[in-house]
Structures are given as C-alpha cells and as structure tokens.
Amino acid sequence: MTLRAPDSAEQTGETVQILPRLQAPTGDDETNHRIANSLQLLSAMVSAEGHGIVDPAALAALDNTRRRIMAIARVHRLLCRTSDAAAVSLAAYLVELGTDLDETYASSLTGRRVCISTEDVFVAPDAAVSVGIIVSEIVTNACKYAYACDVAGEVRIGLSAETPVRCQVVVEDRGCGGVLNGRVDTPGLGSRLVEMMVARLGGDFVWEDASPGTRFVLRMPTRRDGSEDVVSNP
C-alpha cells in the first residue's frame, strides 16, 4: 500500500510507502510448515492411541513419544517465522518449549512450575532439535520425581552464552534428588537419548549437586547473533 506524499513530494510525483510489501512464502517456509503439520498430526495419532489404555507404563511411553515428536515440530514452526533457514533462536525455542512443559506439569495444588531464563543464542535447526529433546527429557524427569507430589517446587531452564561460539544450557531443581560420581540414576530410554543428543551436538554435560536439588549442565558449540558459523554434527 502506498500513500502520495504531501508538499514537495506531491509536486514531483514521488510516493511514500507506509506499509512493507508482503512477501510470498518461500519454498523453505512451505516445507517447514508442511513438516510441522505432519508431525502435529502424528502427535495427535499417538495421543489417540492412548485412549482406552490403562497400563501406566504404556501410557507414559506414548506420552514421551508424543512429547519428543512435538519437540521436533516446534523447531519447524519456528523456522516458518525466521528469515534465516540456517539458524534459529535457541532462546525463542526454549521459551516455547518451557511454556509447553509448564502447561503440562504445572499444578495449582502442588505449585509445580517451569521457569525459563535465556540469552540470545542462534544454532542450526537440527542442533535446536537435539537441545529440545535433551531439555524435555530432563525437565519432565524433574517435574515427575524431584519433589514429593504434595510439595511445591520449580524446575528452571537457563540458557547463556559462555563465548561467541559456545553456550551453556542448565536445567535445575531444588528437590530431593542427588548426584553420585557426577551422574544421576535415571536409567532408560530418556538417559540414552540425552547422551546420544549431546554427542550429536559435539558437546559435553555434567550433573551437579545443587544443594538442595540437582543441576544438569550442557555445554555446546553455537553461534551468537547470526555472525558465527553454525556448528552441528551429523
């Protein structure tokens, strides 16, 4: 939309653009939109499979599968809203993920909450997926087991830039968990997924005693403000 300018511009026939022209969706936008929709449909199908199932272990497995699918879908939705298909804001992604986890596990009866504190950090889309799966696994485990069911408590997600090419992701609680020899006893697929995703990122992690509670610290390559090369292992 354009508006003819007054005074001198009127005399010269110049026009002033007061609204930016809308750009048609790019091929990448359309692809990410379709992938996100397909993953959301798959998530809904997994949820539907849970109807009528009474086995708690089976229901938990389906819920974990749905949550992991949505962690991937969320990256593709974020890519639809960014101009750089090679990088996404890890801060924006973790805020969306943390908000979703808070809505899932927050309870007015127990006061369970998920809190997020971030700095601007940019990573490759597949790196964001790996971080999302890691954070989702750790937060879910903390929300379920860090506190007694009738005890209020927070699970905190933090993102900070250590250097222009490295960042740190922290998940911590103030619950009753403990650390033995730098590890937390959380056997199962979730723990194996965390180790696989950290290796995929080319990063490292450590469990720390938060006294009280437990702290998970992930350090990984990254890029700041879109200026550094994205580091992501295949």
Domain definitions of the chain by residue range = 25-85, 86-234
**pLDDT value of residue 212:** 86
Q: In 3D, which of 212, 209, 230, 208 has the Cα closest to residue 221?
A: 230
Give the pLDDT confidence score for residue 226 in this predicted structure. Answer: 43
The structure's pTM equals 0.73
86-234: CATH class: alpha beta
What are the pLDDT tens digits along the chain (234 aa)? 333 333 433 443 433 333 333 334 445 667 767 777 787 787 788 778 888 888 888 888 888 788 788 777 777 777 776 666 678 899 999 998 898 888 887 765 567 789 999 999 999 988 998 999 999 989 988 888 888 877 788 999 999 999 989 999 999 999 886 654 445 555 566 788 899 999 999 999 999 988 888 999 999 998 534 444 444 444
Q: Which pLDDT score, from 0 to 100, does residue 134 have?
A: 94
User: What pLDDT does 8 receive?
Assistant: 39
Q: What contacts 24+ positions apart, CB below 8 Å, involve 213-216?
A: 213/146, 213/172, 213/173, 213/174, 213/175, 213/176, 213/177, 214/142, 214/146, 214/172, 214/173, 214/175, 214/177, 214/178, 214/179, 214/184, 215/170, 215/171, 215/172, 216/138, 216/170, 216/171, 216/172, 216/184
Please give the pLDDT value at position 138.
92
